[in-house]
Chains A and B, each alone.
Chain A
Amino acid sequence: MTGERQLLSGDEAVALAALHAGVRLGTGYPGTPSTEILETFDQLGGHAQWSPNEKVALEVGLGAAFGGARTLVTMKHVGLNVAADPLFTAAYTDIEGGLIVVSADDPGLASSQNEQDNRHYARAAALPMLEPVDSQQAYDFTWLGFEISERWKIPVILRLTTRVCHAKTVVHPRAAASNIPEPSFQRNIQARVMIPAYAKPAHQRLRQKLVEIAAWNDAEGPIRLDTGRANLGIVATGIAAVHAREAAPKASQLTIGLTYPLPLGRIRTFATGVDRLVAIEEGDPILADALRAAGIPVECKPEMYRFGELNVARVRRILAGDISPEPVPPKGKPPELCQGCSHRGVFEVLRDLGCIVAGDIGCYTLGVLPPFSAMDTCVCMGASIGVGLGLRQVLPEAQARRVVSVIGDSTFVHSGITGLAEMVYNPPATGHVVLILDNGTTAMTGQQEHPGTGRSLDHSPTGKISFEALGRAMGVQNVHVVNAQDKEPSFQDLIVSLLAKSETSLVIARQPCVLAAPKIRVYEKAAAERISPANCAADGVEP
């Protein structure tokens, strides 16, 4: 994948650039629309691994960067919430190898629980942020991100959005880097041990870095100027910039690539040359607010355009000041749990028993839709357990006894284990029932591995966490492993008996995802052949 022009998604372009730029390690947790970055990086020959969650992924990535390696950490927008703790203090440290944190945002909620705008994180954590408009820029900005990161010893956030991640556009790659230094640890205690005595000056150094990066952005940052008529000036970021070029091809437009810290000098100069300046940005009015705070008169889009994705038609409306109701597109067929999906039987039972179901994030969230309508809450990864426990703690007994927490296998490893600790430590008077729907894969995002499958990102065998052993070791009183299709005793009978007890229970409903099962059998067969001594001599020979 070098040299010639290629048609790549933004995710693939980031992976290719990471390979070319000499990235030693890619870490992350699957999440639409970011998942394909690490999968592609692995397929291209890079070293990529799924972590249990985004916090761990960033911590592993930070360690690699402290060790002098170029490192890529990927996640979806809500994943950065999980990784926010290391992120904010990593900003204070001096890293050696370049570190890029990819935040793949989902304006319009194509496959997410919210449409938070992670540009806020750049300002909040005081980290530089690059925002590509297409795959070419995704490729170029990955390179540039490493250069900025290493020059100022600071992590860089590469913010993508769904239409950058998944749109395929033409990319002209460059030659791979040839002079990447080998990782080596250099002690620098004051720059990496964030006790107050060292963190106070580190905070001041961070602010000084941002002053320098802003000056660099003004002087030679990735800014595109399209000179057009002076009666309309557009300042734009991310995917919204190409919508704007198409909506108003004759306007003057300044497209900002490094969107934090902003090149305020360049924008101010641009603003003085146009009669009217409009900020075109998807999501929250972050650019408009920043320009107004800097005293640059700019028009902000009407509030109705904060919601959902922008497109050419919506940008035309923004430029025309049109706040009339938008045409509502016809509703398509909603998704549903696959025929033969192991979750179906579980939700039929929970529906028939009238359970109050604290749900979680994954395919099984579709249990909320008819014909099941068997989910009452869904907030974030792992929340099912805490929310279920909270309901149990306060509800009258008749209601409390109907509460169950439902969580998937990958989600359980991601953020459910601490919830289980809470259940053991603060058991409600009526006890509680936690159901792990273990389909042996991270199904929703496209069947990725996790620490409960016993296979790595590339599907090769590795250590495996046993949920039942974990539950017993943590002190859960009843631990059962079942198949929801079992007849004697039935899954329903088991749930009824556990709801009647005032004890803590963990039920693992285990049956492979129907979409993943054929592939899982192939991986298991390959693993069995790999460890069979009879096959050692024939290694590499097709059977």
Chain B
Amino acid sequence: MKVKNIVIAGLGGQGVLKASDILADAAFRAGFDVKKSELHGMSQRGGSVSSDVRYGDQVLSPMVPPGEADVLVVLEETQVEINRPTLRAGGVLIGPDLLDPAALKNRKSLNVALLGAASTVLEIPHEHWLAALHANLAEKLHTLNEQSFAHGRAAALARSSAE
């Protein structure tokens, strides 16, 4: 399979890196070659954070080249425009406006909800998403995040059928 490029972006503390860990783990469990890369450090102090995940038969560079992301997931409205150049023409943007924050039981699970939305355009079987969610989150958070994932997935499907 040709390499799939996903960029997840937001602000420090929003769970960008947790989301990319879950995505990379799900793709890994699905049997793909996977590379995931981001910059730690200063970015953790509330600044802009973005993480690249690439999977396919063989991934070379761990970084998504500018303008080559197939999917861009953004957790914070102010971060949409500064990350848009990473998206290829025809790529899919999944932004926070997809969801009504009030519909989430816990707003901290926005990262997982938007992964649910992204899952509609990624070829990773559902069982691997679930396994990755479980492996990367504390047990007491499993139910909440499964619900958020399902909510985000349903919202994305509803939007795409509306379009």
Partner-B contacts on A (CB < 8 A): 7, 32-33, 110-111, 134, 162-163, 166-170, 239, 242-243, 245-246, 311-313, 327, 329-338, 363, 366, 444-446
Q: List 18 A-B contacts (CB under 8 A).
A: A7-B24, A110-B41, A110-B42, A163-B37, A168-B21, A168-B35, A168-B37, A170-B28, A242-B61, A242-B62, A243-B63, A329-B85, A330-B82, A332-B79, A333-B47, A333-B79, A335-B12, A335-B46
Residues on A with beta carbons closer than 8 Å to the beta carbon of B21:
168
Q: A335-B46, A336-B47 are in contact. Are A312 and B12 (CB under 8 A)?
A: no
| Distance between Cα atoms of A134 and B36 in the complex (Å) | 11
- The 8 A CB mask of B34-70 against A (1 = contact, 0 = none) is 1111111111111110100000000111110110000
Find residues 8-38 in chain B having any chain A CB closer than 8 Å to their own CB: 11-12, 21, 24-25, 28, 33-38
A335-B43 in contact (CB<8A): yes
B81-A330 in contact (CB<8A): yes
B85-A312 in contact (CB<8A): no
Chain A contact residues, majority secondary structure:
loop
B48-A333 in contact (CB<8A): yes
The 8 closest A-B pairs by CB, nearest first: A332-B48, A111-B41, A335-B45, A335-B47, A167-B62, A330-B82, A167-B37, A246-B60
| Distance between Cα atoms of A484 and B65 in the complex (Å) | 46
B61-A7 in contact (CB<8A): no
B45-A162 in contact (CB<8A): no
Q: A111-B39, A311-B65, A312-B65 are in contact. Are A169 and B34 (CB under 8 A)?
A: yes
Residues on B with beta carbons closer than 8 Å to the beta carbon of A246:
60-61, 65
Residues on B with beta carbons closer than 8 Å to the beta carbon of A332:
47-48, 50, 79, 82
B99 to nearest A CB, angstroms? 22
B34-A7 in contact (CB<8A): yes
| Distance between Cα atoms of A166 and B50 in the complex (Å) | 13
A166-B40 in contact (CB<8A): yes
Counting residue pairs across A and B whose Cβ atoms lie within 8 Å, the total is 107
Residue from the set B50, B61, B63, B79 with the largest chain A CB neighbour count within 10 Å = B61
Residues on A with beta carbons closer than 8 Å to the beta carbon of B106:
none
Asked whether any CB of chain A lies closer than 8 Å to the CB of B78, the reply is: yes
Residues on A with beta carbons closer than 8 Å to the beta carbon of B59:
169
A168 to nearest B CB, angstroms? 4
B39-A166 in contact (CB<8A): yes
A166-B37 in contact (CB<8A): yes
Residues on A with beta carbons closer than 8 Å to the beta carbon of B11:
333
Beta-carbon nearest neighbor of A336 in chain B: B46
Residue from the set A7, A170, A327, A446 with the largest chain B CB neighbour count within 10 Å = A7
B34-A111 in contact (CB<8A): no
| Distance between Cα atoms of A243 and B33 in the complex (Å) | 16
Beta-carbon nearest neighbor of A135 in chain B: B35
A331-B63 in contact (CB<8A): no
Beta-carbon nearest neighbor of B33 in chain A: A170
Contact partner, B61, options A312, A327, A366, A446, Cβ 8 Å:
A312
Residues on A with beta carbons closer than 8 Å to the beta carbon of B45:
335-338, 363, 366
A335-B39 in contact (CB<8A): no
Residues on B with beta carbons closer than 8 Å to the beta carbon of A245:
60-61
Residues on A with beta carbons closer than 8 Å to the beta carbon of B41:
32-33, 110-111, 444-445
B82-A169 in contact (CB<8A): no
B111 to nearest A CB, angstroms? 17
Beta-carbon nearest neighbor of A9 in chain B: B36
Beta-carbon nearest neighbor of A331 in chain B: B82
Q: A7-B24, A7-B28, A7-B34 are in contact. Are A163 and B47 (CB under 8 A)?
A: no
| Distance between Cα atoms of A162 and B42 in the complex (Å) | 13
